[in-house]
Amino acid sequence: MIGATVQSALADRIVEAIQTVVGPGPVALHEPRFAGNEWMYLKECLDSTYVSSVGKFVNRFEAELAAYMGAKYAVAVVNGTAALHVALRLAGVQPGDEVLIPALTFVATANAVSYCGAVPHFVDSEQSTLGVNPRALREYLRIITEVRDQQCVNRATGRVIRALVPMHAFGHPVDIEGVLAVAADFRLALVEDAAESLGSTVRGRHTGTFGLMGTLSFNGNKTITTGGGGAIISNDFELARRAKHLTTTAKVNHRWEFWHDEIGYNYRMPNINAALGCAQLEQLPDLLRAKRRLFERYAAEFARISKVHLMAEPKESRSNYWLQTLLLDDSVAEQRDLILAATNEAGLMTRPAWTLMHRLAPYRTSPRMELPCVESLERRLINLPSSAQLAMEKAG
């Protein structure tokens, strides 16, 4: 006995628009595509018996990823959370510090701060990028902080605000130049959470390469996947060396001795996952083209529906269009759940924004600025089916 669904003409129109682009469904929110050398590399990996934390695919994946991004170094790890954790430690985050992160992000960003014994401090977004609003943040920091001994101190809590972690939401680049200027002016280490933005650039430069370090994710729902995986990106040799050391149990190289010179982590990406990554990376340009094509098709359809707006890449940026994002006008925001129900019931997987960080039980008491933009976005945002294969050109 399923209860009668409340009718919504807008929901029906959105279901139709999605079906016009992706077909009748069912379609997932985001599925990986394995159409290249995955198979061959996995076989090579098994045949070599090197499936674990040492092996040629890990080194190759790191080299090819760094080259693709135009970064000097990449260190492959088990997932994006691990990448953030280690990057924050290397950025000097200490127990009792605060770290500025978006309120609109996946929980991993906040958890990574907690793993360092530090406290996340939540920042508002701007609608044009969905990411950190540098003007609002600057004004806020001007009021609540003071610089003492070259450190930014939160006057209300007395804690040092050590770092700032902008996140390129759904693949759309944040106003990174604005954010960098705030970080410089307030003595904040900048760690760029590029978990969602592999392939996204600002003025031709890859996201994740602007800060002290960048972090990536290759989870199964990302543009390319290694099963589980992530990476730390840096142009600084010493930071990259430290990242590799900390993620490989801080073991000092020796033919047979076990010498660990600090508390490290078992965060190294296994070779079998990296084998998958090497094959996926080869297909990234094709995947990005398809995702852009999918955006264009959605944009054409949604242009015909009033009171909804498909998120386009910010100015001077190129987005990877990881997750297509629909924003409802305020006047129809109360229909969000109807639309989510109608689309999911039609087999078209959609989802709302993450629950904002300051609403989650473990982070309710964390410091935060006023969050009018993300609270508005939360009410109005819907992610659409976004897999590259929904707009892949036929082969041959």
Task: Provide the binding-site residues for its own copies, judged by CB under 8 A.
Answer: 31-34, 38-39, 42-43, 46, 49-54, 78-82, 106-108, 111, 114-115, 117, 219-221, 225, 227-228, 249-251, 255-266, 268-273, 276, 340, 344, 350-352, 354-355, 360-362
Smaller CB separation from its own copies, 172 or 222: 222
Smaller CB distance to its own copies: residue 20 or 266? 266
Specify the residue, 34 or 68, whose C-beta has the smaller distance to its own copies: 34
Q: Nearer Cβ to its own copies, position 202 or 269? A: 269
Amino acid letter for position 223 = T
Alpha helices in the chain (DSSP H): 9-22, 38-48, 56-69, 80-90, 107-115, 134-144, 176-185, 237-247, 271-302, 336-345, 372-380
Token pair, residue 6, equals 């409340």
Q: How many helices (H) and strands (E) does the chain have?
A: 11, 16
Q: Which is nearer to its own copies, 92 or 352 (CB)?
A: 352
CB nearer to its own copies: pick between 61 and 354: 354
Instruction: Produce one character per residue of 163-193: b if its CB has 16 or more CB atoms within 10 Å, e if not.
Output: bbbbbbbbbbbbbbebbbebbeebbbbbbbb
Question: The tokens of 21 are what?
Answer: 């682009």
- State which residue, 70 or 227, has the beta carbon closest to its own copies: 227
CB of 30 to its own copies, least distance (A): 10
Distance of closest approach, residue 333 Cβ to its own copies, in angstroms:
16
Say if CB 197 and CB 208 are below 8 A apart: yes
Q: How far apart are the first and last CA of the chain?
A: 48
Q: How far is the CB of 178 from its own copies (least distance, A)?
A: 27
Beta carbon of residue 245, minimum distance to its own copies (angstroms, whole number): 13
**For 77, how many CA atoms within 13 A lie in the half-sphere containing its CB?**
32
Residues in the chain: 396
The residue among 68 and 265 lying less far from its own copies, judged by its C-beta, is 265
- The torsion region of residue 174 among left (phi > 0), alpha (psi -120 to 50) and beta comes to beta
Residue closest to 274 by CA, chosen among 6, 123, 81, 59 = 59
Least distance to its own copies, CB of residue 294, Å = 17
- What is the closest distance, in whole angstroms, from the C-beta atom of residue 150 to its own copies in the complex? 28
Count CA within 13 A, CB hemisphere, residue 110.
25
Sheet holding 317-318, edge to edge: 205-206, 201-202, 317-318
Look up residue 35 and give its two tokens: 């159409």
Between 77 and 137, name the residue whose CB sits nearer to its own copies.
77
Q: What minimum distance in Å lies between the beta carbon of 326 and its own copies?
A: 14
Nearest to 202 by CA among 235, 178, 236, 232: 178
Minimum distance from residue 77 beta carbon to its own copies (Å):
10
Structure tokens at 215: 């972090």
Among 108, 91, 86, 314, smallest CA distance to 183 is for 91
Task: Using the minimum distance from each CB to its own copies, give the nearer residue, 50 or 302.
Answer: 50
Q: What is d(CA 176, CA 322) in angstroms, rounded to the nearest whole number?
A: 18
Cβ neighbours, 10 Å, residue 303: 12
Closest distance of CB 198 from its own copies, Å: 15
CB of 270 to its own copies, least distance (A): 4
